Chain A
Amino acid sequence: QKEVEQDPGPLSVPEGAIVSLNCTYSNSAFQYFMWYRQYSRKGPELLMYTYSSGNKEDGRFTAQVDKSSKYISLFIRDSQPSDSATYLCAMSLNDYKLSFGAGTTVTVRA
């Protein structure tokens, strides 16, 4: 079993829809949780970072962490074609060695 599980999709939604992405993990010692966005042929860029259970909002993005269920989510409101990318969840025990999910490919149709 992988340490971090993420459905690779692909996920296709119409413009303006809410995109819902999630990951589950097996190591209850993970303390830091991140979401990265990766455009085609580019390196990942950090979208959201949190280290506690609960919700964190940043503009159209909301990250949710449920440590009791070992489950994290990312929601994108009012999705735009420019949001089309691969979204990777990542988590860490010690704030440097990241364990990544496989990534979910999202397409937002205009």
Chain B
Amino acid sequence: GAGVSQSPSNKVTEKGKDVELRCDPISGHTALYWYRQSLGQGLEFLIYFQGNSAPDKSGLPSDRFSAERTGGSVSTLTIQRTQQEDSAVYLCASTPSGGQTQYFGPGTRLLVL
């Protein structure tokens, strides 16, 4: 079956521009996560959505970062006024209800010039 998909695969933008990254979780999965992976760093938790509950936004690094999940499915991560330090791979994962395994997408590689 289809796994987690993310778009775009790669994004190059100029400093100061806004970007939107999209995640399509596995159909039926109730939980969705965003992580950031910088060069030489482990994955850094950003935000977690579970069903209709309030998201856990504790990992968002600044108020330039926001995410939403519409209809309990697709999620969009928005970075406003991008900075060069935002350059990283942004990974999305999803989990079925009651499940523990996080299934990751291939990521969006963001480069801020």
Which positions in A face B, CB cutoff 8 Å? Answer: 4, 6, 8, 32, 41-46, 49, 88, 90, 95-103
User: Across the interface, which residues of A come within 8 angstroms of B25, CB to CB?
Assistant: none
User: Across the interface, which residues of B come within 8 angstroms of A101, CB to CB?
Assistant: 42
Which positions in B face A, CB cutoff 8 Å? Answer: 4, 31, 33, 35, 40-45, 48, 50, 56, 58-59, 91, 93, 95, 100-107
CB distance from B77 to the nearest CB of A (A): 15
Q: How far is the CA of A64 from the CA of B69 in the complex (A)?
A: 37
CB distance from B40 to the nearest CB of A (A): 6
Given A46-B102, A96-B48, also A4-B42 (CB < 8 A): yes
Q: How far is the CA of A37 from the CA of B56 in the complex (A)?
A: 26
Given A96-B48, A96-B95, A97-B56, also A43-B104 (CB < 8 A): yes
Q: How far is the CA of A42 from the CA of B43 in the complex (A)?
A: 13
